[in-house]
A = this chain, B = another copy of it.
Amino acid sequence: MPTQYKAFTDPIHGFIHVPKGVTLRLLDHPYVQRLRRIRQLGMAFTVFPGAEHSRFSHALGALGLMIRILNNLREKNTTITNDEYESMLAAILLHDIGHGPFSHTLEHTLIKDFHHEMMTLALMNDLNQQMDGALNTAISIFTDQHPKPFLHQLISSQLDVDRMDYLKRDSFYTGVLEGSIGIDRIIKTLRVHNDNIVIEKKGIYAIENYIMARRLMYMQVYLHKTVLSADMLISSIFERARDLVQQGEQLFFPSPALQYFIEVQPSAKKKISKEVLKYYTMLDDNDVQLSIKYWMKSKDPILSDLCNRFVNRRFLRTTFFDSSTDIESVKTDLAKKTAQSLKKSRMPFDDKSVSYYLKFLKTESEAYRFRQDSIWILESNNTAVEFSKAADAKHIMALSQPIIKHYAVHLKDID
């Protein structure tokens, strides 16, 4: 063991032994190290000051968890070849590699028609080329083309290693205990049945708890009002920066990578170009934070105000609507009030200006989807049954309906 592994201390999983060879080379690659400079929870640290952990710590933690699970499955006599084993480690380590700074918030602002999973795959392919095909199996597992579906399910499904690690980790760092899950019990009862991941009957309550914990993390952390409002502000800042550049203005001190995205505005409709890859992998939270810090001094009153609000956390307000709200009339009303408020502050108050200070958005989440990527329970008669049918689960059925919340982010004084 001493020479074939490099050990990391993780506050959640304890020691993580990263095998030397492909896995450690990937871990040390700049593409993965870049995740050290991207926070896992974006702006959530403004509400939960302890939650300053990076996507790297999550990737490493998920790797540690994957090692435990694969070893455990092998002990239960599931065949996993050495190539598959190493590929699973690669796939989980790289599963979030395409994330940009401040995550989902900026994705569309930086690149048109873009989703971070496209970038993950592009970067995996790029790494595969650099490593002479060492990631062939990893990519085929990641894209669900490998003949053993259970491997893909561990990477991406409703009960995947990604979720297990991030729930435990985000709960640990935020201090929101309601998100804590019983990973040991899940691992203990996790098995492969007909090439699919199943949970033994006696693990059914650990799964119920896992589903509920995820729901509670969404409600309390991921969709926290202040987090939504901070996300909106960062969007507005980059919209404004882009608009200014399009009007021919010069930004003060944009980082080289950011400047590329703001000026070129690449699109992901076609294949992601080498150039986009190059600038994307150069980009991290530091670029965004530093630019915003110096843009506080911009001559443009809107950009300067938005950045000042961001740095000094004078966020806008988030208001949720219930189903009875007539959103269209609210829109008209709030737009008018926003314009008045901006005018009163001697700010520009035309429609364009208002659009940076008032946005109507929605969140959509469901605790459990029983139609897709379902979780399967292995009954004592050795047949697998979809989770919500396996037990007294009326409440789980109730949770499988998506919860859509419409909300506005707006100036506080117009409330």
Instruction: Tell me the A residues contacting B by CB distance below 8 Å.
Output: 1-2, 7-12, 14-15, 28, 30, 33, 36-37, 45, 47-50, 52-54, 56-57, 60, 75-76, 172-178, 180-182, 184-185, 188, 200, 205-206, 208-209, 212, 216, 219-220, 253, 255-256, 282, 284-287, 289-290, 293-294, 311-313, 367, 392, 394-399, 401, 403
> In the complex, A178→B203 CA distance in Å?
11
- Taken together as a complex, chains A and B put the C-alpha atoms of A403 and B15 apart, in Å, by 29
This protein's copies in its complex: 4
Closest residue on chain B to residue A220 by CB atoms: B205
**Residue ID in chain B nearest A29 by CB atoms:** B312
Bound complex: CA of A149 vs CA of B286, how far in Å? 42
Chain B residues with Cβ under 8 A from A395's Cβ?
367, 394-396, 398-399
Residues of B within 8 A of A290 (CB): 255, 286-287, 290
Give the residue name and chain of the B residue nearest to A40 (CB).
B52
A177 contacts across to B, CB distance below 8 A: 180-182, 184-185, 209
Question: Given the interface contacts A255-B253, A286-B293, A396-B395, does A178 sit within 8 Å of B209 by beta carbon?
Answer: yes
Closest to A397 in B: B398
Residue in chain B with minimal CB distance to A209: B178
With a cutoff of 8 Å between Cβ atoms, the chain B residues found around residue A216 in the complex are: 205, 208-209
Residues of B within 8 A of A37 (CB): 289
Where chain A touches its partner, the secondary structure class is helix
| Chain B residue with Cβ nearest A312 | B30
Bound complex: CA of A263 vs CA of B59, how far in Å? 39
Give A2 to B191 CA distance when docked, in angstroms.
Answer: 10
Contacts of A52 in B (CB 8 A): 36, 52-54, 57
Which residue from B53, B173, B182, B401 sits with its C-beta under 8 Å from A394? B401
| Contact of A11 with B253 in the complex, beta carbons under 8 Å | no
Having A10-B175, A392-B403, A397-B398, one finds 20 other A-B pairs with CB under 8 Å, namely A1-B75, A2-B200, A7-B188, A9-B176, A12-B50, A36-B52, A37-B289, A52-B53, A52-B57, A176-B182, A177-B180, A177-B182, A177-B184, A177-B185, A178-B209, A209-B212, A286-B290, A287-B290, A394-B395, A395-B398
- CB-nearest residue of chain B relative to A76? B1
Give CA–CA (A285, B286) in the complex, Å: 9
- The listed residue (B2, B10, B312) touching A76 by CB distance below 8 A is B2
**A28: contacting residue among B180, B256, B313, CB under 8 A:** B313
A411 to B2, CA, bound (A): 23
Task: Tell whether, in the assembled complex, residue B33 and residue A313 are in contact, meaning their CB atoms are under 8 Å apart.
Answer: yes
Give bound CA distance, A37 to B285, whole Å.
Answer: 11
Interface pairs (7), CB distance under 8 Å: A9-B50, A15-B188, A178-B205, A178-B206, A205-B220, A286-B293, A395-B399
Contact A312 B33 (CB under 8 A): yes
CA distance A297 to B188 in the complex (A): 40
